């Protein structure tokens, strides 16, 4: 009668088997799907077996026999066709196993390249950290009318300290000796989490924000323990002051980045950068601006800059960071100074690439990496110049006035979170 049932009827040779097109064009690109299956494409990837029965939508049923895929070596020599009683023909190509294995190898190479770029990005941050600290000192001296040391002077200082012998107090324990390695190591790990040159290269997709905050807090905690470990009165005084500052700065850092994470829907630094790039207008919103101001104030406090602390002073009554490291010398002091410079670079990179991510590399292409490196150096130079100008215009606050400034930064971060939440 020319009618066709929708349900299978094996007794009359109706099986309603079909071949669907592949959803991923890169996996089954060599297999041309039939036009009928394109209109009824299902999500996912259709894997072709060694043989498959065919049902042509809109036409009679091909039930002469199973349609077998042709041999890979004879893929371009002939077509294997299956004909039904009504003359319906169809063709099924074979999947090449060699191409599948090659794709696996290419994916492995891509993963290796990803980790190599991550290692290179971390090494770039570690190498540029002393230059950033030296640039701030040099520019600050120029603004004050002095000649000052060259920007690469911290490299010479670190090299000189590594060549000296470390003097350790006989009352110091293993904490005093392990702290420089912990401070430097945790800062390097945080630098690997932060998008410095490439936006999406870190393998730690979830929890970058909280991992970075707690790793920085871990290094500061052990540095305070080392200040108490030697029994020096200056070390204990510096440790007490540092813990007071940290108690106000670490929550502010978390809240500042949470204000960005609310819009991005993730605490991953890479996701935050991607969201800011896709919605540039959000960078001028009140939540972003308040969070940036809070993070900049915290950067001054965490890295021991004016007006919270003076990195160039050694007066006992005003020291905070220098009081804790007063007992260190030689390679131990070199690691701590290098770690402090790297911590400054990490905070400025967070302020630059999370709030102003334009120019950061979005792929692993050589030209994109060069543009990302140049953009991050330019943004770090602008922020370092702002710090140098600020330190020549303001004086150090009294110790009892420092919590007031840090409370202001915490309120700014809290307002940024509330503004972002209400604007969603």
Among the listed ranges 205-219, 265-279, 345-359, which one has the minimum average pLDDT value? 205-219
**Does the pLDDT at position 295 exceed 70?**
yes
Instruction: List pLDDT tens digits, range 387-420.
Output: 999 999 998 888 889 999 999 999 999 999 999 8
Which pLDDT score, from 0 to 100, does residue 365 have? 86
Residue with tokens 């800059």, as numbered in its chain = 305
Whether 130 shows a pLDDT value over 80: the answer reads yes
Is 417 in contact with 258 (CB distance < 8 Å)? yes
Give the containing element (helix H, strand E) for 334. Answer: helix 330-355
How confident is residue 270, by pLDDT bands cut at 50, 70 and 90? Answer: confident
Query: pLDDT category, 310, cuts 50, 70, 90?
Result: confident
Q: Rounded to whole angstroms, how far apart are CA atoms 231 and 247?
A: 23
pLDDT single digits (tens) 337-373: 999 999 999 999 999 999 999 899 888 888 999 999 9
pLDDT band at 283, cuts 50/70/90? confident
Q: In this predicted model, what pLDDT tens digit does every residue of 146-160 receive, in sequence order?
A: 998 999 999 999 999
* pLDDT (0 to 100) of residue 10: 67
Give pLDDT tens digits for 30-49. 344 444 444 444 444 444 44
Neighbours of 79 (CB within 10 A): 13
Q: Is the pLDDT of residue 84 over 80?
A: no
Greater confidence (11 vs 307) lies with 307
φ, ψ at 183 (rounded to 5°): -65, -50
pLDDT (0 to 100) of residue 24: 45
pLDDT over 90 percentage in the chain: 42
Q: For residue 105, what are the CA distances in angstroms to 73, 111, 236, 354, 363?
A: 22, 10, 56, 34, 20
Mean pLDDT of the chain: 79
Predicted local confidence at residue 285, as pLDDT = 86
Query: Which is nearest to 248 in space by CA: 104, 135, 401, 120?
Result: 401
* Contacts for 118-124: CB closer than 8 Å, 24+ residues apart: 118/192, 118/198, 118/201, 118/202, 118/203, 121/192, 121/196, 121/197, 121/198, 121/201, 122/188, 122/191, 122/192, 122/196, 124/196, 124/197, 124/373
Query: Model confidence over 216-245: pLDDT tens digits?
Result: 999 999 999 999 998 888 888 889 999 999
Q: Which of these ranges, 100-104, 112-116, 146-150, 166-170, has the smallest mean pLDDT?
A: 100-104
pLDDT > 80? residue 79: no
Indicate the pTM of the whole model: 0.73
Of residues 382 and 274, more confidence is placed in 382
Q: Please state, in angstroms and rounded to a whole number, the distance separating the CA atoms of residues 352 and 337.
A: 23
Compare 27 and 390 and report the one with higher pLDDT: 390
DSSP 67-136: EEPPPGGGTTT---B---TT----B-PPPPHHHHHHHHHHHHHHHHHHHHHHHHHHHHHHHHHHHHHHHH
pLDDT of 90 strictly over 70? no
The burial of 228, by beta-carbon neighbours within 10 Å (0-12 exposed, 13-18 middle, 19 or more buried), is given as middle
Specify whether the CB–CB gap between 244 and 236 falls below 8 A: no
- Residues written for the chain: 424
CA distance to 5, 9, 215, per residue, from 59 (Å) = 12, 16, 66
Query: Per-residue pLDDT for 266 more than 50?
Result: yes
Q: Which positions ≥6 away from 316 have C-beta within 8 Å?
A: 234, 237, 323
97-111, 275-289, 374-388: which is most confident: 374-388
């Amino acid at each position: 009668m020319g009618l066709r049932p929708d349900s299978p009827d094996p007794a009359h040779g109706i099986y309603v088997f079909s071949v669907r097109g592949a959803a991923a064009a890169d996996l089954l690109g060599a297999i041309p799907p039939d036009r009928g299956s394109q209109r009824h494409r299902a999500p996912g990837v259709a894997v072709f077996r060694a043989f498959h029965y065919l049902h042509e939508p809109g036409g009679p049923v091909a039930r002469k026999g199973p349609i077998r895929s042709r041999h890979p070596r004879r893929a371009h020599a002939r077509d294997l066709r299956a004909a039904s009683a009504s003359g319906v023909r169809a063709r099924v190509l074979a999947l090449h196993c060699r191409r599948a294995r090659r794709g696996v190898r290419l994916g492995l190479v891509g993963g290796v390249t990803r980790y190599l770029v991550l290692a290179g990005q971390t090494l770039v941050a570690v190498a540029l950290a002393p230059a950033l600290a030296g640039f701030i000192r040099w520019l600050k001296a120029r603004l004050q009318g002095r000649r000052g040391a060259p920007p690469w002077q911290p490299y010479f200082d670190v090299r000189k300290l590594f060549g000296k012998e470390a003097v350790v107090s006989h009352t110091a324990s293993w904490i005093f000796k392990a702290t420089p390695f912990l401070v430097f190591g945790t800062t390097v790990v945080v630098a690997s989490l932060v998008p410095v040159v490439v936006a999406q290269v870190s393998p730690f997709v979830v929890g970058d924000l909280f991992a970075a905050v707690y790793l920085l807090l871990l290094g500061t905690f052990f540095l305070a323990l080392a200040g108490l470990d030697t029994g020096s009165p200056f070390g204990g005084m510096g440790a007490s002051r540092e813990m007071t500052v940290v108690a106000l700065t670490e929550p502010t850092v978390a809240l500042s980045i949470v204000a960005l994470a609310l819009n991005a829907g993730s605490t991953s630094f890479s996701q935050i950068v991607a969201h800011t790039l896709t919605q540039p207008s959000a960078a001028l919103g009140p939540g972003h601006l308040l969070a940036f101001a809070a993070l900049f104030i915290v950067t001054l406090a965490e890295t021991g800059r004016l007006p919270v602390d003076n990195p160039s002073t050694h007066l006992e009554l005003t020291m905070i960071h220098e009081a804790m490291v007063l007992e260190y010398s030689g390679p131990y002091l070199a690691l701590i100074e290098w770690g402090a410079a790297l911590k400054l670079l990490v905070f400025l990179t967070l302020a630059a690439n999370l709030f102003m991510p334009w120019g950061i590399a979005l792929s692993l292409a050589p030209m994109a990496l060069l543009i990302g490196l140049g953009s991050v150096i330019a943004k770090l130079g602008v922020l370092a110049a702002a710090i140098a100008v600020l330190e020549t215009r303001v004086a150090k606050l009294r110790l009892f006035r420092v919590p007031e400034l840090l409370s202001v930064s915490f309120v700014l971060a809290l307002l940024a979170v509330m503004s972002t939440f209400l604007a969603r």
